[in-house]
Chain A
Amino acid sequence: MTNINPIASPLASAGRAPATLATAGGWRAQLVKWRVPLSILALCLLPWVLPSKALAVNVLIYGVVCVGYNLLFGYTGLLSFGHAAFFGTGAYITGITIVHFGLPWYAAVMLGVLGGGLLALVIGALSIRTRGIYFSMVTLALAQLVYYVALQASNWTGGENGLRGFTVSKIDIFGLHINFLDPLQKYYVLMAFAGLALWFVSRILNSPFGAVIEAIRENETRARACGYNVERAKLMSFTLSGLICALAGTLSAMHLAIVPLDSLHYQTSGMIVMMTLLGGAGSFFGPFVGALAFLLMEDVFSIWTSHWQIVVGSVFILFVLFLPKGIWGALLAWRASK
């Protein structure tokens, strides 16, 4: 069987090389050091820049999903096509715990994250046994199974109608009484969670484990020869990535007060991949830029014409062809080359 045409030796692989390396010198080290505060600052401005608060919250949520997904795709080099399963499961567990068990919102969020993470552990353990295209296909197949289970278990998940009936209107954290229906207050509460996720990912990337997954992306054979248990590291990366996507799922459930069945479908997985690549796989803030660009394009173009998908598709093709590093990745590379 061909090892792809022509010889794609390790040297030529990883076209989407990481733009920021922890140990790179100069301004880039500064950027890495201050990336979390800078990102959070950028997120604070988002609701004032974008046309609508609801769009801002969506960018926030899909940004967190893509940052979680990027941990696996951009930093470990594994193209999974099933991450909608963790996003959707996080949302469903949050909704189900409130609707059927009447738990407070923070318990629901915690359970959603843990449930999604657990599912990621299971699907990860099964799919890590395969490699390359088969890995993408296994994750797609297993995620579709989760979709059909949710479709069939309609008394729990509301089936094709989606899950309803758990609107969170008031939140009390540390003595603060927040009206969750007010778009701005809701945005900043969800942004706090997003900031937490960004900080968690940044810690992982700066940690020794961060170096391990980047080594695996660079050259899996050599990583194993260095003494790393590659399978275990991949599984950890897969599970951590699933946890963060599940967190985004819980935020989405709280934001929309419904859990649509489509959140588990592979179209959502495909969208997550597109956003991450558009923004810049392998870079820290790239996924957020990708989510912003994708949703903004979708929102703006759908005003001009109902055929907005042809524009989004074409832009994506151009990026794969000419800007594999994505918007943010290309920006960093350009900044570095100056």
Chain B
Amino acid sequence: MDFSLIAMQLFSGIALGAILVMAALGLSIIFGMLGVVNFSHGAMFMVGAYAGLWVASLTGSFWWGLFVAPIAIGMFGMAVEFLLIRPLYGRSVDDPLLLTFGLGYVLVEAVRIVFGSDGIPFPTPSQLRGVVNLGIGYFPIYRLFVVGVVGAILLALWLLLGKTKFGLIVRAGARDPQIMRVLGVDIGKVWLLVFGLGVGLTALGGVLAAPMRTVNPEMGSLVLAEAFVVTVIGGMGSLVGSVVAGLLVGIAVSMTALIAPEMAQIVMFALMALVLLIRPQGLFGKSGVQA
């Protein structure tokens, strides 16, 4: 086990962590701000990948796909919130979870009807093909690009939520929607935008992941499991938690792959169960979370 192998393994763990963060971000935002557990998160990820594929095949450029698809699917997410999730506010906390579970089925099958059930190629954009020698090993340029985009997205989100008026309203609304209504804020509209933002980010994750994984109707189910693991470990509703948890899980999976590769997936769920039992609210979640 020479040094460069371990270093390379650590680096690929961080890169995998970035991808896990991207996959979990949308879920964490929607849960954190709305208290809604989106079980169709995996399906939205997959729909995002297909939308990116469709736009790219029409315009012939990956970049259009990367830009247009998340916005389109984000708007679709807003329609879902308005039509399906809104009637459920005020009812038991399980209802949104159950509804989105059914929605996941519908989205997967709808894509199968439109695009067929076998995988469709999504070649890596030509500028980003090839590998770069990091001295400790070869690493695909595309994955470095993805890590970069994830970093940019996190920065933008941190600024949006931390520094803007909208961000303040969203975070306050998460704390106590009743007060926000009293202060004359149309909290319904805020939730609409937040749900759209969450779904849009998930779709962006789909488009980014498409060149790495084949685009197929079932690609979402694994992402759902990964996103839950990361979101729960980080602490439901805490963005910082999702980022740290994503990197932590990525490195844990990567290091396990060195010793016992077949245990990679078990490690994820074992880590999640462990955190939930010791610190139910997750690493960064606030205790006493009743959701």
A and B, direct touch (CB closer than 8 Å): yes
Q: State whether A79 and B177 are in contact (beta carbons under 8 Å apart), knowing that A4-B35, A5-B89, A148-B266 are contacts in the complex.
A: no
Residues of B in contact (CB 8 Å), total 60
Are B35 and A5 in contact, CB atoms less than 8 angstroms apart? yes
Task: Confirm or deny: B168 has a beta carbon within 8 angstroms of a beta carbon on chain A.
Answer: no
Task: Confirm or deny: B110 has a beta carbon within 8 angstroms of a beta carbon on chain A.
Answer: yes
Residues of chain A within 8 A (CB-CB) of B144 are none
Besides A130-B280, A309-B109, A320-B88, 17 new A-B residue pairs in contact (Cβ under 8 A), listed by A number: A1-B237, A2-B35, A5-B90, A5-B173, A5-B177, A5-B187, A8-B91, A8-B93, A14-B92, A133-B97, A133-B291, A134-B232, A137-B276, A145-B270, A148-B269, A266-B225, A324-B95
The main secondary structure of chain B at its interface with chain A is helix
Task: Confirm or deny: B50 has a beta carbon within 8 angstroms of a beta carbon on chain A.
Answer: no
Are A141 and B177 in contact, CB atoms less than 8 angstroms apart? no
Residues of A in contact (CB 8 Å), total 47
Are B93 and A144 in contact, CB atoms less than 8 angstroms apart? no
Are B109 and A142 in contact, CB atoms less than 8 angstroms apart? no
Task: Confirm or deny: B64 has a beta carbon within 8 angstroms of a beta carbon on chain A.
Answer: no
Task: Confirm or deny: B78 has a beta carbon within 8 angstroms of a beta carbon on chain A.
Answer: no
How near does chain B come to A39, taking the closest CB pair, in angstroms? 25
Mark contacts of A275-318 with chain B using CB atoms, 8 A cut-off: 1 yes-contact digit, 0 otherwise. 00100000000000000000000000000000101101110110
A148 to B270, CA, bound (A): 10
Interface stretch among B10-18, B67-75, B98-106, B119-127?
A: B98-106
A266 to B289, CA, bound (A): 25
Are B102 and A313 in contact, CB atoms less than 8 angstroms apart? yes
A270 to B31, CA, bound (A): 19
Are B290 and A317 in contact, CB atoms less than 8 angstroms apart? no
Task: Confirm or deny: A3 has a beta carbon within 8 angstroms of a beta carbon on chain B.
Answer: yes
Are A134 and B280 in contact, CB atoms less than 8 angstroms apart? yes
Residues of chain A within 8 A (CB-CB) of B97 are 79, 133, 136
How near does chain A come to B178, taking the closest CB pair, in angstroms? 6
Residues of chain B within 8 A (CB-CB) of A7 are 178
A144 to B113, CA, bound (A): 30
Are A317 and B269 in contact, CB atoms less than 8 angstroms apart? no
28 residue pairs A–B, Cβ–Cβ below 8 Å: A1-B286, A1-B289, A4-B291, A5-B35, A5-B173, A5-B191, A6-B178, A8-B92, A8-B93, A12-B91, A14-B92, A16-B92, A129-B277, A132-B290, A132-B291, A134-B236, A137-B276, A144-B225, A144-B269, A145-B270, A148-B265, A274-B98, A277-B98, A309-B108, A310-B109, A313-B104, A317-B84, A320-B102
Are A6 and B90 in contact, CB atoms less than 8 angstroms apart? yes
How near does chain B come to A208, taking the closest CB pair, in angstroms? 26
Residue of B nearest to A146 (CB): B269
Are B87 and A310 in contact, CB atoms less than 8 angstroms apart? no
Interface centre among A2, A152, A277, A309, by most chain B C-beta atoms within 10 angstroms, is A2
Task: Confirm or deny: A140 has a beta carbon within 8 angstroms of a beta carbon on chain B.
Answer: yes
Task: Confirm or deny: A126 has a beta carbon within 8 angstroms of a beta carbon on chain B.
Answer: yes
A307 to B217, CA, bound (A): 12
Mark contacts of A104-146 with chain B using CB atoms, 8 A cut-off: 1 yes-contact digit, 0 otherwise. 0000000000000000000000100111111011101110110
How near does chain A come to B95, taking the closest CB pair, in angstroms? 6
A310 to B236, CA, bound (A): 30
How near does chain A come to B186, taking the closest CB pair, in angstroms? 13
Residues of chain A within 8 A (CB-CB) of B94 are 79, 136
Residues of chain B within 8 A (CB-CB) of A137 are 228, 232, 272, 276
How near does chain A come to B47, taking the closest CB pair, in angstroms? 14
Task: Confirm or deny: A273 has a beta carbon within 8 angstroms of a beta carbon on chain B.
Answer: yes
Residues of chain A within 8 A (CB-CB) of B187 are 5
A310 to B108, CA, bound (A): 8
Task: Confirm or deny: A169 has a beta carbon within 8 angstroms of a beta carbon on chain B.
Answer: no
Residues of chain A within 8 A (CB-CB) of B262 are 152
Residues of chain B within 8 A (CB-CB) of A4 are 35, 89, 93, 290-291
Task: Confirm or deny: B34 has a beta carbon within 8 angstroms of a beta carbon on chain A.
Answer: yes
Residues of chain B within 8 A (CB-CB) of A277 are 98
User: Which A residues from 235 to 291 make CB contacts under 8 A with B?
Assistant: 266, 270, 273-274, 277
Task: Confirm or deny: A226 has a beta carbon within 8 angstroms of a beta carbon on chain B.
Answer: no
Are A12 and B105 in contact, CB atoms less than 8 angstroms apart? no
Are A13 and B232 in contact, CB atoms less than 8 angstroms apart? no
Residues of chain A within 8 A (CB-CB) of B237 are 1
A131 to B84, CA, bound (A): 25
Are B105 and A145 in contact, CB atoms less than 8 angstroms apart? no
Task: Confirm or deny: B255 has a beta carbon within 8 angstroms of a beta carbon on chain A.
Answer: no
